[in-house]
Structure 1
């Protein structure tokens, strides 16, 4: 009887050990499959976000371009994902739905061969209220802006009331600072409600030189105001006069941002930059208080 009892106990122990091992392997297998699904979901979401952020940059261009760019970003990730749907609202929003079939490993033992993982993302255009890279030029927000109509940004004080001719001292005053900021953009962030000093002095000559560089670096054959890398396009603050005396506006208050497309080089006597204001998404950030003058920021909203 004692031998029989020990034999039965040994058999029970083997059964329990086998069951415990199976349970542990099951948990390990499910963890592996779950981890694989989690990683796939994260990568799919990353692809969807990148696609709509890139597509949203063309929401002021045309719908075909938005679709093309969005699909190209998905294809560039080469992760085997499929596009289920792309929704486009020009000048507003682009959304995408992606899916990917993920083969399972351990779960096959339970009859589950694969899982279809999905991701959704949407990017919307918002009014730009903070940005890096602005030119040291500005325009009074009391001036009505009509997109794609010719305007002139004056860069000297001749014939301008109160000496306010739209030239801003970003970071510091002086010709060298102005030259650097006009050529490369101001590398600090500006935001709605910032108070900025105005720039004085004779800067028309240096302006002509830099505008010529920008025009020559982006030939118009044909004109493409949607070219993301065109040097003719500059970001400028929109402002309201903040502090002025009888002869000069000394400080301005930023109320928004605008994009200006330079249409013509400046000749030796020009004191104005000829161009037009355009609608364009940029790399700035949104605000709830700024005025809209054509400069959009992009935000993932879903």
Structure 2
């Protein structure tokens, strides 16, 4: 009895209770960290998938709604086949938004009756008027022209191209026929933006133009014609300008006010001095800038 009284007074059994509680607490925290980490990792991945889906779909907002849906679901299939589309909102010419969810099996939380959780993500992408871009062709169109999309136009490129007409040949990165030819074939590699002042290109560059236009036409089949095909060499980015300086009747300087996309419809023969095609509405890899004039060239921006 005396020994029992001594053990009771020393309370040596309490240590075992405290250690047990501490271990249970540590186990619970570890389990929550593991489950929480799984949820966080899945959430980050699902958000990237949602972003990729709307960015891809937004490229077709100038095309048709069926194509937007097709591209969105194609992007989802490539990036996460388990993701479920809870909601898909499409406003043609403006915005595409998607809500995704995916079931995630939990580990530790199963001990408390929670087998899985639904991880969700939302993303939206909108069209913006393009005001800054690389890859522009060394051709321009006067801002005063009221463009009609999918109507045939002719961009003059003879030695009289920079008179008081509606189209002009631009000196992007320098003057000279070779520089012009390179920029027409590959696009000007540096960015130009709304507000930039550019010189015009003078001289006869019709021969250089014919060669490059034939290459671009031959590089993109038109059977059938589809102006929305990505990476079609017939499509060129055209700066829209405001004339600001003349010498006599020849335009010498312009200010960039926006961008347009031009689809080349016909090759040029040995006697042609104009590029035949039509202006189209299209998205590209440029960026928005305040004050840019809307002429059918759009950039894409994640907004949500």
TM-score interval w.r.t. the shorter chain?
over 0.9
Matched, 1:234 2:251: no
Q: Which residue of 1 aligns with 2:43?
A: 41
What is the root-mean-square deviation in Å for CA atoms of aligned residues? 1.7
Q: Which residue of 1 aligns with 2:11?
A: 9
Q: 4+ residue stretches of structure 1 with deviation over 2 A?
A: 1-10, 157-165
Q: Which residue of 1 aligns with 2:187?
A: 185
Residue 210 of structure 1: how far off its partner (Å): 0.3
Gapped regions of structure 2 (runs ≥ 5): none
Gapped regions of structure 1 (runs ≥ 5): none
1:115 & 1:234 partners in 2: Cα distance? Answer: 48
Range moving further from structure 2, 207-216 or 163-172: 163-172
Q: Which residue of 1 aligns with 2:143?
A: 141
Residue 244 of structure 1: how far off its partner (Å): 2.1
Partners of 1:157 and 1:165 within 8 A in 2: no
Matched residue SS, 1:187: coil
Range moving further from structure 2, 244-253 or 52-61: 244-253
Q: Which residue of 2 aligns with 1:78?
A: 80
Partners of 1:163 and 1:248 within 8 A in 2: no
Range moving further from structure 2, 36-45 or 76-85: 76-85
- Given candidates 43, 50, 53, the residue that maps to 2:52 is 50
Q: Which residue of 2 aligns with 1:217?
A: 219
Residue 296 of structure 1: how far off its partner (Å): 0.7
Matched residue SS, 1:182: helix
1:5 & 1:20 partners in 2: Cα distance? Answer: 26
Partners of 1:232 and 1:263 within 8 A in 2: yes
Residue 206 of structure 1: how far off its partner (Å): 0.6
Cα 1:159–1:289 change in 2 (3 A) is closer
Matched residue SS, 1:133: coil
| Equivalent pairs, count | 302
1:262 & 1:209 partners in 2: Cα distance? Answer: 14
TM-score by length of 1: 0.96
2:93 & 2:290 partners in 1: Cα distance? Answer: 18
Partners of 2:49 and 2:80 within 8 A in 1: no
